[in-house]
Structure 1
């Protein structure tokens, strides 16, 4: 079995961070998202630096908040 490329690993991590993090729509949703917002922002910033080193091109498509441009 072949090992995934750096680009494939970055893509998989990005998908996990965006599509893999879902909070059910209940009374605690807004509180959970508010409490984790600073942490999630720090995680995205750290990931962007790693991604830019491993895969210089893909990192250029995101703004400072980790959102698609």
Structure 2
């Protein structure tokens, strides 16, 4: 699986805007925004933003659905 990319975040006052490929994916406010900033400083911000936005499951879902183990 590849690493996530094309994410960026902007701090606007007390909120954090997370964008993916130039489009707003989500906005974090309050405690969730503070937690995001703390985690972004410690780890990989691209991976974190993919997790927060729910945009980390891309690529192999269609192929996995066709696998004999998953066929019903």
Judge same fold: TM > 0.5, yes or no: no
Return the index of the structure with the highest Cα Rg: 2
Q: Which has the higher strand share?
A: 2
TM-score, structure 1 as length reference: 0.28
Q: Which has the higher helix share?
A: 1
